[in-house]
Each structure stands twice: as structure tokens, then as C-alpha cells.
Amino acid sequence: MKTVVGPLCAAVSWLFVAGSGIGMAQGQAVDPPAAVPVANANPLADLLTMAYHPKGTGPGAVRLAGSSTMQQAAAHWAHGFHRLHPDVECSIESGSSEGGWKSLVEGKADIALMSRPVTEAEKAEWEKQNAKKLVVVVAAFDRLVWIVHPSNPITELPWSPETGILRPASQDATATADSLAATHWDRLNGSDAWKDVAIHVHGRGLGSGTRWHMDRLLAGATSCQLAIAEHKTEAELAEAVAADKGGLGLVGDEHAHWPGVKRLPLLIPANAAPLADAVVGSDRTPDCRPLFLAVAVPKDGSMPPQLQEFMEYVLSYSGQLDVAKDGLLPLARSEIHAQKDLLGWSMAR
């Protein structure tokens, strides 16, 4: 589905309240609005000096395709960018991370919206078939939340990179990985009354970034042996868990408040080893899912002007304000610096 750029609005409790508004004339800096203190801490406060300074691009297009999780944020980016660069047409093809990657490889998109990392196999295939260089940066984070049926007495899910949540650590040195796999809820919630209640995992389809992260969090370094009931949307997934006493699902934070489900935090050991694919410049916990932009650039690193301006917009205060409007988590200042380094852009710290 292709999205038409148009006015959008959303609210988050800690967003800045604009006084006189944001300047929109092309060629002028887009300065952050004056801040009005609010009750909750504002994660954008450290980005106030990272204004977007538009430069002329001439006519052109920016084509985005991929993850439905990122569709609304991408629409905010496209709308804000188009107001500053009216000669640049922005289009968004919504689908899945898999579909966005395919569009980028086939040259049908300039930027792939991906809610999972690009795999090593995909990178290797890219190097074989494409004359351009692949650059993948993080544009935002999305907090993922485990949900269960409200009658389940469990209050948290212990997790580690090695065992995931279905293979809790054992003091028995002779136990095998398969014998440790939790298949019934008593192994996780400690209640003998739940020993006959099987764990029913509900997830998104295989092309979804949410599913990619769920598989990793479920079983850690091993593979999940449980069948996974697939759902087209997170709303359908949440409804299914609400109706299933043995249900376990992973959704974005907004769907964790769905009526009839109970949200669970991950219990992460203090000495847990960092994940192999941890985001450069970030120390966020594994339940914060990075949302990526994959972009193809010439080998010399020079992007078409409209594409470079779009990426600069996303990695500015304005672009991160757009992220927050969608209820996603903006990047920290250090994370933005790390992404710009990946793009080969030098900037003052």
C-alpha cells in the first residue's frame, strides 16, 4: 500500500509544546520550538541543538518501502521533509521488513524500512550483486513487551542471551538444552497449578521484524521448539493472547495495553553479555527494538542530494520529534552521532 504524504498528528505526553511554531521556509534552519516543562522527562531535551538546516536539492524523489511498524513515522518524516523541499516527491510503500529489503535490492526503493537487522547473508548477497555500498543506520527504537493472559500468576520473564526465556538456567550440569526447554507454564511461573497448561506462543509472520526479535528472545542462542501461531497484525495477536489462558506473545508497547492482556517485564541479569548485533553507540536493553533505514549509496559514499537531505532530516531534532509523535523512542544524542559516523558524516560533538 502506497501512502500519500499529508498532514498528520499524534500526541505523546512529554512532547514539547510549540509556542510560535517551527520555521518552514526552505533554506532556513528548522529550530526546535520553545520548551514548556511537562511532568514526564523529555528524551528529546538533549537534542535541542541538533536542528535541521535545509539545503537546496532540486527536483527529485525519495522512495521508502518496508516495515508496517515504521509506516507512520515514515509518513511524518515524508510530510515534514516535503514541506521543506516541495520539489522532492516522497512515497512510502508499506508492507514488511522482508518486502522493503526486496524493494531496495531490486532498485524499487531508495530506503528500506526495517524493524530487524540486515542479516549477514543479505549483506553478502548484496555485495555480490550490487555496485552500490549498503549503509544501515538506526532511526528510532520501539519498546517490545511480552504479554500473557491476565490469569497467569507470572510477574516477570527471566532472560539471558544464551538461554532466552524458554530455557531457564539449571543447576544440573548433566541437563541438555532440550530437556531445559520450557513447554508448560509451571516452568516459568513456578505454580504447580499450571503444570498442565501448555505455553502457546503467538507471533507475527516470518517476514515481520517483530517475529525476528521474538524468535531471538524466546530461545536465545538455540532454536525455539514450540509451534508459533501466526497473526497478520499485532492487534489480532493481542486479541488471541487475551482469549488463550496459555498464551504468550510479543507486541509493540502500544498493543501491550490491549484489554484482557497482562504485560511482563524482562528480567535481565546484570552481567549479561551484550548481544552480537547490538546497535553501535547504544547500550539499550534487548526489549528495545532498533528500527533501521537501509540505504544504497555509491561506492565513493556520495548520496543524491535529496537522499542525503532526507537522512539528515531523520537524524535531526525535527526527525526525532516525528519519531516521538508516532509513540516510538527517539535516538539519544550519542546514538545519532554513531549513525552519522556510519554514514561517513563528520560533525561537531
The model's pLDDT over 76-85, given as tens digits with 9 standing for 90+, comes to: 999 999 999 9
140, 43 Cβ separation under 8 angstroms: no
- Sorted by sequence, the CB contacts under 8 Å of residue 196 that are 6+ apart come out as 184
Q: Chain-wide mean pLDDT for the chain? A: 82
Grid coordinates of 134? 549498503
CA dist 90 and 274 (Å) reads 37
pLDDT band at 275 (very low <50, low <70, confident <90, very high): low
42, 34 Cβ separation under 8 angstroms: no
Grid coordinates of 86? 516541495
Global pTM reads 0.78
CA distances from residue 311 to 52, 136, 161, 318 in whole angstroms, order as listed:
10, 11, 32, 12
CATH number of 2-20+27-142+289-342: 3.40.190.10
pLDDT band at 105 (very low <50, low <70, confident <90, very high): very high
- Sorted by sequence, the CB contacts under 8 Å of residue 15 that are 6+ apart come out as 38, 42, 44, 321, 324, 325
Choice between 158 and 273, residue whose per-residue pLDDT is larger: 158
Q: What is the pLDDT of residue 103?
A: 94
pLDDT at 349 over 60: no
230, 204 Cβ separation under 8 angstroms: yes
Burial 157-179 (b: 16+ CB within 10 A, else e): bebbbebbbbbbeeeeeeeeeee
Rounded to 10 deg, the angle between the 317-325 and 71-84 helix axes is 140
Query: What is residue 312's DSSP assignment?
Result: H
Q: What is the pLDDT of residue 175?
A: 56
Mean pLDDT confidence for 310-338: 94
Burial 231-266 (b: 16+ CB within 10 A, else e): beebeebbbbbbebebbbbbbbbbbbebeebbebeb
Q: Provide the residue type at 300 as one letter.
A: D
Mean pLDDT confidence for 268-296: 79
H or E element: which one contains 204? strand 200-204
Which of 3-7, 123-127, 147-151, 300-304 tops mean pLDDT?
Answer: 147-151
- Using the structure block, give the residue that is written with the C-alpha cell 509451534: 227
CA dist 268 and 289 (Å) reads 15
Domains 2-20+27-142+289-342 and 144-170+177-267 share a fold: yes
Identify the weakest region by mean pLDDT among 73-82, 88-97, 170-179. 170-179
266, 286 Cβ separation under 8 angstroms: yes
Closest CA to 208 of 260, 142, 262: 142
In percent, the amount of the chain with pLDDT more than 70 equals 81
pLDDT band at 13 (very low <50, low <70, confident <90, very high): very low
CATH number of 144-170+177-267: 3.40.190.10
Q: Where are the domains of the chain?
A: 2-20+27-142+289-342, 144-170+177-267
- Sorted by sequence, the CB contacts under 8 Å of residue 23 that are 6+ apart come out as 29, 30, 31
Mean pLDDT confidence for 30-46: 53
For 177-200, what is the HEC assignment?
A: HHHHCCCECHHHHCCHHHCCCECE
140, 323 Cβ separation under 8 angstroms: yes
Q: What is the pLDDT of residue 7?
A: 33
